[in-house]
């Protein structure tokens, strides 16, 4: 069995390689004749499917945050709640499955083991599914909401 430091470094390396791989894919698709309009349409379709899936699975208090110009990790962040750990897990699993079936997007899902806070990374859209108590504790949408006087995100 590897020492703790080696296992931790391995996990960090996996995360870094995934991040670098995702950045490379984004750069390749952006340079492969994809226009800003095509990218915006793809993003819109992705966001529409995500919101539709969340509504179909009875997610509560769905909030969409526009992250363009504020973060390089994603263009949109969606935050929602499920009533129980079981529902939180089901919402995330069904969302990942629907993205794979309809858009062939392989979403990364983290946090399914506990069911308190599940993160679904679909590339341009990151979805956080919380149990209500956990959402209230972290208040993640308040952290990312635009402050008064912030410039509007660049939509071009």
Reported as a single tens digit per residue, the pLDDT across 72-115 is: 889 999 999 999 999 999 999 999 999 999 989 899 999 999 89
CATH topology for 35-144?
Beta Polymerase; domain 2 (3.30.460)
Q: Report which of 63, 109, 70 is spatially closest to residue 88, judged by C-alpha positions.
A: 109
Q: Report which of 61, 40, 118 is spatially closest to residue 86, judged by C-alpha positions.
A: 118
Which token pair is 84?
């129980």
pLDDT in tens, 104-142: 989 999 999 989 999 999 989 999 999 999 999 999 988
Domain residue limits, the chain: 1-34, 35-144
CB 103 within 8 A of CB 52: no
């Amino acid at each position: 069995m590897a020492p703790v430091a080696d296992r931790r470094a391995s996990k960090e390396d996996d995360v870094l390689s995934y991040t670098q791989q995702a950045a490379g894919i984004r750069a390749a698709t952006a340079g492969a004749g994809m226009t800003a309009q095509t990218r915006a349409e793809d993003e819109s379709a992705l966001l529409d499917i995500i919101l539709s899936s969340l509504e179909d699975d009875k997610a509560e208090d769905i909030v969409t945050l526009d992250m363009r110009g504020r973060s390089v990790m994603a263009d949109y962040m969606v935050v929602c709640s499920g009533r129980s750990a079981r529902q939180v897990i089901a919402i995330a699993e069904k969302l990942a499955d629907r993205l794979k079936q309809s858009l062939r997007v392989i979403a990364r899902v983290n946090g399914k083991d506990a069911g308190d806070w599940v993160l679904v990374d679909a590339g341009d859209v990151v979805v956080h599914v919380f149990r209500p108590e956990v959402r209230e504790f972290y208040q993640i949408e308040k952290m990312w909401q635009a402050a008064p006087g912030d410039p509007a995100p660049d939509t071009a």
